Amino acid sequence: MASRVSADADTFPKLLVRNARAFGERPAMRHKDLGIWQTWTWAQVLDEARAYAAGLHRLGVRRSDTVAIVGGNRPRLYWSVTAAQMLGAVPVPVYADAVADELAYVLAHADVRFAAVEDQEQVDKILSVSDRLPKLEKLVYDEPKGLRDYDHANLRAIDDVIADGRKALAEDGKLASWLDAEIAAGKGSDVSIILYTSGTTGQSKGVVLSAERCIAAAMDTVAFDRLNERDEALSYLPMAWVGDHYLNYAQQFVAAFCTACTETRDTAMADLREIGPTFFFAPPRIFEQMLTRVMIRMEDAGVLKRAMFRYFIGVARRYGEAILNGQPVPFAGRLLYALGLLLVYGPLKNVLGLSKVRVAYTAGEAIGPDLFSFYRSLGLNLKQLYGQTEAFLYVTAQPDGQIYADTVGPAMPNVDIRIADNGEVLFKSPGMFVSYFKDDLKTGETMTPDGYVKTGDAGFFDAKTGHLKIIDRAKDVGKLRDGTLFPPKYIENKLKFYPNIREAVAYGDGRDFVAVMINIDLTAVGSWAERNNVVYGSYQELAGHPLVYDMIAKNIEETNRSLAEDPVTAGAQVKRFLILHKELDADDGEVTRTQKVRRGFVAERYAPLIAALYDGSAEADISTEVTFEDGRKGSISARVKVRDVATVPVKPAMGKAA
Amino acid sequence: MLGPIIETLIGGLLTGVLYALVALGFVLIFKASGVFNFAQGAMVLFAALSVARLSEVMPLVFAVAIAVVIMVVLAYVIERLVLRPLVNQEGIILFMATLGVAYFIDGFGQTVWGSDIYKINLGIPKDPMFFFEGVFPGGILIDREEVAAAAVCAILVAGLAIFFQVTRTGRALRAVADDHQAAQSVGIPLNYIWLIVWAVAGIVAIAAGMVWGSKLGVQFSISLVALKALPVLILGGFTSIPGAIVGGLIIGAGEKLAEVLLGPILIKTFDLAGGGIENWFAYMLALVFLLFRPQGLFGERIIERI
Amino acid sequence: MRAPAASDIAAGEVLLSVEDVTLSFGGVVALRDVSFDIKKGEIRAIIGPNGAGKTSMLNVINGFYQPQKGSISFKGETRTKMRPYDAADGGIARTFQNVALFKGMSALDNILAGRTLKMKRGWFWQMLRIGPALTEEIEHRKRVEEIIDFLEIQAIRKVPVARLPYGLQKRVELGRALAMEPDLLLLDEPMAGMNLEEKEDMSRFIIDVNDHYGTTIALIEHDMGVVMDLSDRVVVLDHGVKIADATPDEVKKDQAVIDAYLGVAH
């Protein structure tokens, strides 16, 4: 497999050298600083990375050292990745919003000697757990604000490290040629990066990826979507997430396109508008948030605008996807769609920053079919891919023109998929991981003897299309007491399509019926409350408001109708629900850093509420401990109401017969 | 039939431009100081009188230049003697004060300039222009003066828009409109801003007064034009410059069209006299607007947060 | 004559002093013979129970209220009353207890408004947007962007402030005051109505402003923890009268203060 990657381009530093030579004057990276977009060409990035590498070497970074990278999407942190790789060291990106404890675990487990971090916040966090990191020697930081008075014995500004390296390279010709030799000495089989999984279950694991496999995987997708040096992407997802490393590093280096870093973590949507990327990658929740914002704006818009929006969104639903897929559409439909493009879809995509997008992907978790169709009907070439960190992102992806909302596409080129006897999806792919760092036991558990990786997901190939269909986590798909299939994610995703519902957690395995806990979306419901003169003082009060309950009940009843349409899911209609008094929060361990709900943990934490869902009581008291961002703990208690919702009667003949 | 309607429409729009000019004066002062300036109509009359009488003894250009100086001085006097002592008083008290100012200016204008009907000659030929004679029988008749008025209005509005959006003074004015204390705390001198808006309102009054005066003659009834600005403001919103313009156009065109189209219907179907529609139509329209969109077409949406 | 620049005054010397100020509204006395001083470079807290006259004191300092008696010396210049314009021009900036922002403008424009007195080009040049006015505009925008960066409010740059949550509005208001590059910054309850996290952020900004720009700060605050942490010296008012003036530690032990304030509130 590795033979496809040539020896002079089998590591990322070598690719950077190649890009600087081939596309030296083309933009490689952008970042908004003090309100103005700054741009670096490939030649400049190489120059910065070399100087940085020289500086790091002088600080003591050696081959095979691990270097932690903690922070938001900033050019100097991406260069930290490259500079470390130039020296043969291994970068280990860590989620910037990880609390000190998580951070300490990863840094200790990865044996890091050096860490490149964004700012004072991260420096403070690391210093607070330094007693658990005996191997950590030096910290370098990007943003000097607030760090002036810190003890700089083991602390340096990245800018100073780069300046020092640059000076040394200029003065010492031998150092420069030594660095060139170091870059050339890198091998495709070297460890390129270790990505720690966000850990839906238990402690996170360090996924070791090799350079040649990363590059081989990226080459396949770059060819698949015909990406080139004229493309532009936005970097705004956590650097520690495989998706970002894949898109904004591996693919970027292979295709030589330009990556723009957001100004801050909170400006992503504004930056998206300004940059107008051609290639866009976002997890479903980002698309959800974007849709929510659009819906809120439309609620506040004038009557005429709202009517126009509704009408043309209807037109798009009827014809949009067919047009995008190149299927036959009546002439009148095409005409109406063209008008809609002019009046609604075009301006809308422009506002969202999606007007230049040629290819957009979503992954990370299943996207609600309605949400997915909405964007596609606007003419956005949004596709799903399915994969995981262990695959270096992808296993399957939807090819242009063959999009089915409920499947994730066929195996990508050079990927081999097998369905195990228990329904679990197994794969072998160009980018597949080498091992879990320092955990041969886990590695052994995840790999089959013949070299396939177990995904942990249950799925099957759709007979009609030949595309893979993922139902749920293999261990999550359950059954109601009467044997009816209970796919929690499927139900939750349907609910989460409603702008009012931010998160839904469905229960039903081994129970008599399905019940859900709802998190309302504060932006959407808050704006609704304002429009309807609903007075509330806090999230908790709003969540418990009877009118909010009415509104959510309506959403659930609609969902039930849609569940009832399919005989397989008709039995899994929601019978009871409650609205949680607080948002599920990663700091409290209720969701992962990538916002996936930890179902089991939530069930334990809110046991009294679940009991109330099933014992028929109208309300229940709950008191939970919460963690503030600074690590302090407090507790919230509330009385939460439980409601019944109407279900569509299921024809017993069909339900029982199946 | 279409020819006369278009003619009425254009005539109405051009009258609307004049309404817009007067309304603009209101909006400027209301935005900056929250005062509903009842004296705006009197200012229009005073400005028209000044230009009319001065132009009898000197070329029009000089007369206008001196009128500008007079309006700025007037603004200064009002700011000094009326607004400054009443700073931080209730809106209704300031409104009452402008009521007094209105009567004072009305009377003072007559004391200084006399109370006859005077003429302003803008030097624009009085004969109307005809368009589209090939399309409609008799063509469409347009008054040259009204076209000139529209042009003046457009230039004034564009200039004001740039002034308020771009310059420090404009930003300061918007700041004062939002919060007096905060504006003062960043070093914006309130008195200076008030002087500026009153002076600008005075200059707008000159433009309105000249056009109006040239059309109808300069006489007391001009100050009543101010009353027509009220429905315009309700339509356009009290704080919106574009609103004043669009509102003016709608009222101008609406009342003329109503007179021509609605009148015959009222006469035929209900056997009414059918006259005077022009007098009440604007207020009816304003009332309807008050019911359905109280903040006006362009006014800021009033959202009370809890 | 402009007041002498604050740089003429060495750190630790008196920047502003209030002498025997008495202020009354009708028959109600808000301040009675109050005297205290603010030294350059310090963080000075003004505390006291409700109705003690704290905000009135700030309003006297920046000229919103004119005292009936007493004098104010700022940068060595003594006068019987301040006027808002002179206060702003002389280098006194402030924030308000109930956030006074320009509601119709974006956060950026609000902060730019703080540059009003620093802009020297006339409106004619600004309208044309050429030559010196343009360079000046860019220069001011740069300073404002630095403040936006400092306060970490990049994401709300273009958002009309009326739509912002309260905590962020307070931050924008601080930004507007900072844009004036003041010598003396008056903060009227900068943390009122904030949650713990917002309070910590705001404390950090206040300390940073004081540390890095050397700005002298006088603040009114109810959160005693914050006052004790932040301030170098504390003046305590009660019913318009000064009852203590000392370091935070001393004030905490002062019996008169405990009786009047701490005893009541806690």
Q: What is the DSSP string of A534-573?
A: ---SSHHHHHT-HHHHHHHHHHHHHHHHHHHTSTTTGGG-
Which CATH number is A478-657 given?
A: 3.30.300.30
Give the distance from residue C72's alpha carbon to the nearest chain B alpha carbon, in angstroms.
Answer: 17
In this chain, the answer to whether the domains covering C10-91+182-266 and C100-181 adopt an identical fold is yes
A323 phi and psi angles, rounded to 5 deg: -65, -45
Its pTM stands at 0.72
Cite the residue boundaries of each domain of chain A with CATH code 3.30.300.30.
478-657
Option in C62, C105, C180 nearest B178 (CB): C105
pLDDT one-digit tens code per residue, B117-148:
888 877 777 677 776 666 666 667 777 777 77
Partner residues linked to C39 by β-bridges:
C14
Q: What are phi and psi of A553, to 5 degrees?
A: -60, -40
Do A628 and C197 make contact, defined as CB atoms within 8 angstroms?
A: yes
What pLDDT does C122 receive? 58
Chain C interface test: which of A34, A264, A539 (most C C-beta within 10 Å): A34
Confidence of residue A35 (pLDDT cuts 50, 70, 90): confident
Mutate which of A297, A303, A530 to test chain B, going by most B C-beta atoms within 10 A? Answer: A530
Q: Cβ of A264 and C197 within 8 Å?
A: no
pLDDT at A617 over 60: yes
Q: What is the per-residue pLDDT for B11?
A: 81
Please determine, for the modelled complex, whether the ipTM score is greater than 0.90. Answer: no
pLDDT tens-digit map of A321-338: 888 888 888 888 899 999
For the residues A387-416, what does the mean pLDDT come to?
89
Instruction: Tell whether C64 is within 8 A of chain B (Cβ).
Output: yes
Question: Where residue B304 falls among pLDDT bands split at 50, 70, 90?
Answer: very low
What pLDDT is attached to residue C139? 87
Distance from CA of C30 to the nearest CA of B (A): 19
pLDDT tier for residue C2 given thresholds of 50, 70 and 90: very low
CA distances from A426 to A384, A451, A654, C184 (A): 19, 10, 33, 67
H or E, element range at A459: strand A453-461
Percentage of residues in chain C having pLDDT higher than 90: 48
Determine the residue of chain A that is closest to C155 in CA distance.
A267
In this prediction, residues A481-486 reach a mean pLDDT of: 81
Cα separation of A234 and B48, whole Å? 61
Average pLDDT, chain C: 86
- Asked which of A118-132, A323-337, B84-98, B190-204 is least confident by mean pLDDT, the reply is B84-98
How crowded is the C-beta side of B73, counted as CA atoms within 13 Å? Answer: 9
How far is B155 from B60, CA to CA, in rounded Å?
19
Q: Does residue A490 contact residue A502 with C-beta atoms inside 8 Å?
A: no
Residues of B in Cβ contact (< 8 Å) with A530? 303, 305
Under the banding of pLDDT at 50, 70 and 90, the label for residue B174 is: confident
pLDDT for the residue numbered B139? 67
Helix-helix angle A522-531:A546-564, to 10 degrees: 120
SS (H, E, C) A473-504: ECCCCEECCCCCEECHHHHHHHHHCCCCEEEE
Interchain pair B303, A530: CB under 8 A:
yes
Residue A631 has pLDDT above 80, yes or no: no
Q: Give the per-residue pLDDT at B301.
A: 47
Distance CA B267, CA A580 (A): 66
User: Would you say residue A30 has pLDDT above 60?
Assistant: yes
pLDDT at C1 over 80: no
The Cα B71–Cα B84 span in angstroms is 18
Nearest residue of chain C to residue B175 (CA atoms): C102
Q: What pLDDT band is residue C6 in, cutting at 50, 70 and 90?
A: low
> How close, in Å, is residue A335 to chain C by CA atoms?
37
Looking at residue A547, what is its pLDDT?
92
**Closest chain A residue to the Cα of B298, Cα to Cα:** A302
What pLDDT sits at residue A218?
Answer: 95
pLDDT at C5: 53
Grade residue C253 by pLDDT with cuts at 50, 70 and 90: confident
**Who wins on pLDDT, A625 or C77?**
C77
Sheet of strand A468-473: strand arrangement? A416-419, A424-428, A453-461, A468-473
- The pLDDT assigned to B137 comes to 67
Our CA-based measurement puts residue B85 at a distance from the nearest CA of chain C, in whole angstroms, of 15
Q: Which CATH architecture has domain C10-91+182-266?
A: 3-Layer(aba) Sandwich (3.40)
Helix (H) or strand (E) segment spanning residue A125: helix A120-128
Residue A86 reports pLDDT greater than 60: yes
What are the strands, taking DSSP E only, across A238-368? 258-261, 279-281, 359-362
Determine the Cα–Cα distance for residues A393 and A214; give it in Å rounded to an integer: 10
Distance from CA of B304 to the nearest CA of A (A): 9
pLDDT (mean) for A186-202: 84
Task: For A22-42, give one letter per residue: b (16+ CB within 10 A) or e.
Answer: ebeebbbbbbbeebeeeebbb
Inter-chain touch B185–C104, beta carbons under 8 Å: no
Among B168, B182, B189, beta carbon nearest to C102 = B182
Collapse the DSSP code of A33 into the 3-class scheme (helix H, G, I; strand E, B; otherwise coil) and give the result: strand
Count other C-beta atoms under 10 Å from residue A647's C-beta.
19
State mean pLDDT over A572-582.
92
Taking an 8 Å cut-off on Cβ atoms, the answer to whether A535 and B305 are in contact is: no
Residue A658 pLDDT > 60, yes or no?
Answer: no
Whether residue C196 and residue A628 make contact (CB cut-off 8 A), yes or no, is: yes
More confident residue, B266 or C163: C163
Helices B40-55 and B225-236, axial angle in degrees (round to 10)? 130
The single residue listed with the structure tokens 């949406």 is: B301
Which of A393-397, C98-102, C156-160, C258-262 has the weakest average pLDDT? C258-262
Chain A residue with CA closest to C165: the answer is A523
- The owner of tokens 């540059």 is C115
Note whether C116 contacts B: Cβ–Cβ < 8 A: yes
User: What pLDDT score was predicted for residue B27?
Assistant: 84
Q: State yes or no: pLDDT of C92 exceeds 50.
A: yes
Of A92-96, A450-454, C6-10, C74-78, give the lowest mean pLDDT range.
C6-10
Among A276-285, A385-394, B61-70, B178-187, the least confident range: B178-187
Tell me whether residues C116 and B171 touch, CB distance under 8 A.
Answer: yes
**Inter-chain touch B178–C123, beta carbons under 8 Å:** no
Mean pLDDT of chain A: 89
Among A220-229, A275-284, B219-228, C72-81, the range scoring the smallest mean pLDDT is: B219-228
Dihedral of CA atoms B273, B279, B284, B287 in degrees, nearest 10, equals -150
CB spacing of C102 vs B183 below 8 angstroms: yes
pLDDT band at C265 (very low <50, low <70, confident <90, very high): very low
Residue B226 has pLDDT above 80, yes or no: no
Contact list in B for residue A535 (CB cut-off 8 A) is 306
| In CATH, C100-181 is 3.40.50.300 | yes
Within 8 A of A267 by CB-CB distance, chain C residues are: 154-155
Digit-coded pLDDT (tens) for A198-256: 755 567 899 999 999 999 999 999 999 999 999 999 999 999 999 999 999 999 999 99
Closest residue to C155, CB basis, from A149, A266, A628: A266
C154 reaches A (C-beta below 8 A): yes
Q: Find chain C residues with C-beta within 8 A of A145's C-beta.
A: 150, 208
Q: What is the pLDDT of residue B118?
A: 84
Of the pLDDT bands very low, low, confident and very high (cuts 50, 70, 90), residue A190 is very high
Identify the residue whose tokens are 């310090």.
C42
Of residues B63, B46, B11, B4, the one with CA closest to residue B226: B46
Residue C129: the pLDDT is: 57
pLDDT at residue B196 in the model: 87
| Cα B241 from Cα B159, distance rounded (Å) | 12
Residue A368: half-sphere exposure toward Cβ, Cα within 13 Å: 26
pLDDT score of C176: 95
What gap in Å lies between CA C264 and CA C48, rounded to an integer? 11
Enter the DSSP assignment of B59: -
Provide mean pLDDT across the span A494-503: 88
Residues 144-183 of C with CB under 8 A from B: 176-177, 179-180
The predicted structure's pLDDT at residue A256: 96
CB-CB neighbors (< 8 A) of A630 in chain C: 196-197, 200
* Backbone phi, psi, residue C155, to 5°: -70, -20
Average pLDDT, chain B: 81
pLDDT at residue A613, rounded to an integer: 92
The mean pLDDT value for C50-75 works out to 91
Q: How far apart, in whole angstroms, are the C-alpha atoms of residue C52 and residue C256?
A: 14
Most confidently predicted of A74-88, B253-267, C41-55: A74-88
**Mode of pairing for the β-strands spanning A501-507 and A514-520:** antiparallel
Confidence of residue A654 (pLDDT cuts 50, 70, 90): very low
The CATH architecture to which A2-281 belongs is: 3-Layer(aba) Sandwich (3.40)
Section C194-213 average pLDDT = 89
Q: What is the mean pLDDT of residues B76-102?
A: 85
Average pLDDT value for residue range A36-48: 96
Q: Strand B129-131 and strand B140-142: pairing?
A: antiparallel
Residue in chain A closest to B301 (alpha carbons) equals A300
What is the pLDDT, as a whole number, of residue C266?
39
Q: Residue C128: is its pLDDT beyond 70?
A: no
> Which chain A residues are Cβ-neighbours of B305 within 8 angstroms?
530
pLDDT value for B1: 61
Specify the pLDDT at position A391: 93
- Tell me the CATH architecture of domain A395-474: Roll (2.30)
Report the share of chain A in percent with pLDDT over 70: 96
Which chain C residue has its CA at the smallest distance from A266's CA?
A: C155
Which residues of chain A does B300 touch, with a Cβ-Cβ cutoff of 8 Å?
none
Q: Choose from B165, B166, B168, B304 for mutation: most chain C CBs within 10 A.
A: B168
Residues of chain A with CATH 3.40.50.12780: 2-281
CA of C231 vs chain B CAs: smallest distance (Å):
24
Chains that touch A (3 or more CB pairs under 8 A): B, C
Which residue, chain included where needed, has tokens 């401990």? A625
**CA distances from residue A86 to A44, A492, B95, C261 in whole angstroms, order as listed:** 16, 45, 75, 64
Cα angle vertex C84, ends C79, C86, to 5°?
A: 55
Q: Does C150 touch chain A (CB under 8 A)?
A: yes
